[in-house]
Amino acid sequence: MAALMRALKPAKAVPSPPVKNYEPAKRLNHSTVLVGDCLYMWGGERDDRLKEHNIEIERRDSSFVEVLHLPTGRWEQKPTTGDPPLGIMKYAAVAIGNEIFYYGGRCSHFHYDVNVLYSLNVDTLKWRKVVPTNPEDGPKRKDSCGMIAVKIEGEDYLVIIEPGSIHYFRIATGQWISPKVTGDDISRIYDFNLMSVDDTSAILLEDHHDNISDNYVHRLTFTKGSVVFECIFYGRMVLDAPWFVHPNRSVLLTSPSGLKLLAIGDSQCETFDINKTNWKKVDVPESVKNRNVHSLSVWNEDTTNTWIIEFGEHWGGASLSDTAFLNIRYTAGGDISVRTYSLREYQEEMGKRRRSVEQEVSQKRERIMEERHQQEIQQLHLQMEERDQQAREREREMEKQLQERERESQEIERQLRGELQQFEQRERQLQEEVQELRTQNDEREKQFQEREQELQQQLEQSAQQLEEKDRQLEEQESAWVVNGDEIRMTETVLGNGGYGEVRVATFRGLRVAAKSLHR
């Protein structure tokens, strides 16, 4: 039991040291998957395979992936992590985003792996086993299936076709779905190549006959719950299930005249026009078409350059490791012409293109820099002219303001002069008024002094008079002598006396009766 557990334990992948001109080992019955500008190749039947089945060693050997960097043509071997599948041959593979899905396959000792779905993340290079929610509803065939990715109503699905049935795998829910198949009979399909056209359709080329053009061609249209399976080219009928497989490989090309299928294998290279439904032979070297159970992938470098990458083969009892690159060109009539490159020739061609592109980019950058420089100069000239214009406008405005201020200053100066004149005139008036007031004051002072002297004299006189009165009073009081001047007779007659009339008189503030003794 312990020995069995050790055998089932995943072996750690040990990467080989980097090699400048590295090329993958010979192999066949493998697949290549394009993700971005990189071609990923995994598994395949190799000449150095173990003579006996050993899970631990086979899992270790399957823990590597070969990566072809298409812009440079450089191969690189990278180790993976996780639990890789053991079905390294005759599996089906397709990419959705940065994840490559693998289904089925078998090991090189004809020990079938389970019908399990795996995935490899190309960013982390980590394997995972995709566990469906209903595995009993999935495909039963473990190898020689076809698989493509579709997007139905905005949702990602895997479509797996096995002889006689079609299955959907819904990525979001991990659910197997058996769609309804309408159209032609699918039960007679055994060996085939399945190629995606767009998100909801595909082309299926049967692979039952020695001659490629004798095979049926079908179109498949996928909806959420059904598949329409229709034949667009009728080849030769197959009466019984073939006991011998003609492992041709095919890809789809988007030509100016429409979609074309290109198939290579069994010393043949032909194209099938999807619109015209006719086959045409394509001239390629024997080293390209003398292959079986190899891999084909299409890379659209740009709008004018399309490459087909071919790797591995089984021909004449031997497997090969050379990588062939087919540069696809289209004639005026819509036919295909092919120029073939070896790996070294492709690397040199891409180097030339890269240098040409770099030179073109450099020249373009220089032109752009020169244009930008000229634009900057023009912009600076425009800015300088604009600034000069603004400066001239500001100068005119400032001159206008200066003139206005000068006029205002002159007006203010004129007003100030007038006010100054008024002030000086007022000052003179005030001085005259002050002088007049001073004169008046002097006059009043003089009058005051004179009045003061006069009052002083009056006071002195009054004082003398008072002294005189006091003296007289003293004399009167002492001698009872009344001064006649102190008596003021009135006209009121009281009566007649012995010597005259008695009248009312005032004497020292008193009303008295007095009689004048003389008239």
Residues 468 and 350 in one domain: yes
The average pLDDT across 242-258 equals 77
Least confident among 69-73, 177-181, 230-234, 428-432: 428-432
Residues 114 and 152 in one domain: no
The average pLDDT across 459-485 equals 73
Instruction: Report the number of distinct structural domains present in the chain.
Output: 5
Residues 167 and 118 in one domain: no
The angle subtended at Cα 122 by Cα 121 and Cα 124, nearest 5°, is 70
Residues 292 and 396 in one domain: no
Measured between alpha carbons, how far is residue 222 from residues 147, 184, 473 in Å? Answer: 13, 14, 162
Select the more confidently predicted residue: 312 or 197. 197
Select the more confidently predicted residue: 482 or 427. 427
Question: What pLDDT, on the 0 to 100 scale, is given for residue 499?
Answer: 66
Q: Is 446 annotated as a binding residue?
A: no
Cα–Cα distance, 143 to 400 (Å, whole number): 94
Q: Where does the pLDDT of residue 482 fall: very low under 50, low under 70, confident under 90, or very high at 90 and above?
A: low
Select the more confidently predicted residue: 196 or 246. 196
Question: What pLDDT, on the 0 to 100 scale, is given for residue 251?
Answer: 95
Cα–Cα distance, 473 to 458 (Å, whole number): 21
User: Whole-number mean pLDDT of the chain?
Assistant: 85
Q: Which helix (H) or strand (E) holds 146?
A: strand 146-152
Structure tokens at 251: 């890809």
Select the more confidently predicted residue: 433 or 151. 151
Cα–Cα distance, 63 to 13 (Å, whole number): 6
Bridge partners of residue 118, in order along the sequence = 102, 129
Q: Which helix (H) or strand (E) holds 437?
A: helix 343-479
Question: What pLDDT, on the 0 to 100 scale, is given for residue 8?
Answer: 34
Q: Which helix (H) or strand (E) holds 33?
A: strand 31-35
Question: What pLDDT, on the 0 to 100 scale, is given for residue 231?
Answer: 96
In a domain, 135, yes or no: no
Q: Where does the pLDDT of residue 299 fall: very low under 50, low under 70, confident under 90, or very high at 90 and above?
A: very high
With contact defined as beta carbons under 8 Å apart, do 56 and 29 qualify? no
Residues 417 and 439 in one domain: yes
Summarised one tens digit per residue, pLDDT across range 92-134 is 999 999 999 999 888 876 666 667 899 999 999 999 999 899 9
Residues 197 and 293 in one domain: no
Select the more confidently predicted residue: 509 or 101. 101
Select the more confidently predicted residue: 418 or 309. 309
Question: What pLDDT, on the 0 to 100 scale, is given for residue 246?
Answer: 54
Residues 223 and 288 in one domain: no
Bridge partners of residue 167, in order along the sequence = 160
Instruction: Quote the domain boundaries for residue 423.
Output: 343-481
pLDDT at residue 399 above 90?
no
The average pLDDT across 416-434 equals 85
**105 Cα distance to chain centroid:** 44
With contact defined as beta carbons under 8 Å apart, do 82 and 62 qualify? no
Residues 433 and 405 in one domain: yes
Most confident stretch, 66-75, 311-320, 393-402? 66-75
Residues 6 or more apart whose Cβ sits within 8 Å of residue 32: 39, 40, 41, 68, 295, 296, 297, 309, 311
Cα–Cα distance, 118 to 121 (Å, whole number): 10
